[in-house]
Amino acid sequence: MKNIYKIAICALGIVLLNTSCKKWLTEENFTQISSDVIYKDEAGLTVGLGALYNLQRTYERVSDANALTQNNLWLYCADDLGCTRTFNDAQIYKAAMTPTAFPAGKWTSGYQLIDRASAVITKAATVNFAVPANKAKLIAEAKVIRAMTYFKLWQLYDNILIDTIPTDVTNAFDPQVFKPATKEEVLGLINFDLDYAIANLPYTAKFGQVSQGLARHLRAQVAAWQGDWATMAAQCDAVINNGGYSLQAVDKVFAADVNHKESLFTYQMDEVLGGNDALAGGNQHILSAVFTARYYEMPGGHMIEDNNWGGNSFAWTTPNFYLKRLLGWVESTGLSPDKRFSAYFYPDTVIGNKPGSAYYGLKLPQSSYPGGSAAAGGNYRQYHWSVKKFQDFTKPDGRAGSFKDVIAYRLAETLLMGAEAHWRMTNNPTNTTALNYINRIRARAGMPNFTTIDQQTILDESARELAFEGGRWFLLKRMGVLVSQVNQYHTFGSAKSNEAVFPMLTHMVRWPIPQGQIDLMAPNFPQNTGY
């Protein structure tokens, strides 16, 4: 790791001296703290932790200059629920998914983030804090960030390296022998970090700060990959019953303020405090634009760039008809009895919003839809069923970027994991706890209770509830159905007339390791099979 990430050392001082984390760190002029004391006292380590949060947020944000945009967007739209129209479609199961062409940001930036987390963890262990519990808490927060990053890398690449010794001027050029870690080694380290965090973090935390609830949620996810259903169930039970979290009304989950009791962890954005990734408020993301059609380009001139209809948008990826059918969509009416259909997605029927138009406030005529009707689907850029989860009413209508906070983990996912864990642990399709957990989500959506549960039940309900939140690709991979689901349902196309499946090859269940990294790690670190 040392040689691979030595360049990051030079930038570290700049990053640490110019970052702080909004909403939980005291506002101070941290630029007065020189880099030689960053890791030498409590104040400096607090700055380092703030910088770590900023790096982690940047690592997961969709819109940046570090080769992460396509990687991150890929995770939102490359599962069985999406139709990819443009932008990074060449990388999704196509010719450009190669070690040289596939974006390298997730790997390279991931190890930079891990290296900085390890620095905070290692250095904090040698520093005296006024309150010892605060030291344990700071280390625990850094450990969660390191665990999250290692877990993401392992799920994506399978074959990864482990190095918990931070890079500094004394070891940056030390010779290294690189070899892939085993699954047991990777998940063992992740669990070690998370167990420490669970023991040293409270459930109560400021929004944007990791908590015991998040640590337990992640611990349950890792247990699922290990087939340890008892641990998975116990961790989910603790979050659900002791964490103080609660499901919100379906129309409140992704409302203007997503910092509510359903959120286990949110990425905090703030336009006043932000403007670039090094600042407390971070930089804008483009999630709303990516998943929303350009309704204002529809024929007839009855629509304008209005944030009620997504504002300035890209329509790079849209939800497909498989998801629509899962949500109980009725083609003749364009409606669904599932409350999530209208709360999480824009409706089929577009309402004119241009003042002075004959159709202002009214349903648009068929002539306004590309192809002549909503069902025809003549131009997905201009019109398509779209995702509303990232809608931002505060951004300028003509700007695609948004500073709206983004939910990364929420209680609904914990409930679905808990339902799966209790079902698998008992092998009982009528397990009371499993049905109770999943039916809480069903009840909120106004849908009837399930009376039995199996893997397909969980997959389908996860699709309805968690679509386009970045986690489904991993769920499908863990359950062993990624290739079959993608090859049956994921589509590419710019109109209904050319929407089609492009085959996902079996080796694509793991990403190609960037060739530049393979070259640096030679000869003991092999490329993933198939690339």
Rg of the chain over Cα atoms, rounded to whole angstroms, equals: 23
Distance CA 140, CA 127 (A): 15
Distance CA 206, CA 259 (A): 9
φ, ψ at 319 (rounded to 5°): -70, 145
3-state secondary structure of 59: helix
Distance CA 158, CA 511 (A): 8
**CB of 393 within 8 A of CB of 326?**
no
Provide the residue type at 243 as one letter: G
pLDDT of residue 34: 46
Query: For the chain, which residues make up each domain, given as ranges?
Result: 6-226+513-521
Contacts 24+ apart (CB under 8 A), 96-103: 97/508, 97/511, 97/512, 98/512, 98/531, 99/512, 99/513, 99/514, 99/515, 99/518, 99/527, 99/531, 100/515, 102/511, 102/512, 102/514, 103/67, 103/68, 103/69, 103/70, 103/71
Distance CA 275, CA 54 (A): 13
Q: In the numeric block, which tokens belong to residue 207?
A: 């929004």
CB neighbourhood size of 504 (10 A)? 21
Distance CA 456, CA 466 (A): 15
Distance CA 197, CA 186 (A): 17
**CB of 98 within 8 A of CB of 62?**
no
Task: Measure the CA dihedral 464/466/420/485, to 10°.
Answer: 70
Q: What is the pTM of this model?
A: 0.93
Alpha helices in 257-352, H assignment, sequence order: 287-290, 321-326, 339-343
CB neighbourhood size of 456 (10 A)? 10
**CB of 74 within 8 A of CB of 89?**
no
Provide the residue-wise pLDDT of the chain in tens; the chain has 531 residues: 544 433 333 334 334 433 333 333 333 333 344 455 688 999 999 999 999 999 999 999 888 767 799 999 999 999 999 999 998 898 999 999 999 999 999 999 999 999 999 999 999 999 999 999 999 999 999 999 999 999 999 999 999 999 999 988 889 888 889 999 999 999 999 999 999 999 999 999 999 999 999 999 999 999 999 999 999 999 999 999 999 999 999 999 999 999 999 999 999 999 999 998 888 999 999 999 999 999 999 999 999 999 999 999 999 999 999 999 999 999 888 999 999 999 999 988 999 999 999 999 999 999 999 988 777 779 999 999 999 999 999 998 889 999 999 999 999 999 999 999 999 999 999 999 999 999 999 999 999 999 999 999 999 999 999 999 999 999 999 999 999 999 999 999 999 999 999 999 999 999 999 999 999 999 999 999 999
Distance CA 344, CA 142 (A): 33
Residue 430 CA, chain-centre distance (Å), reads 31
Q: Name which of 219, 207, 223, 45 is nearest 147 in CA terms.
A: 219
| CATH class label, 6-226+513-521 | mainly alpha
DSSP state of 317: E
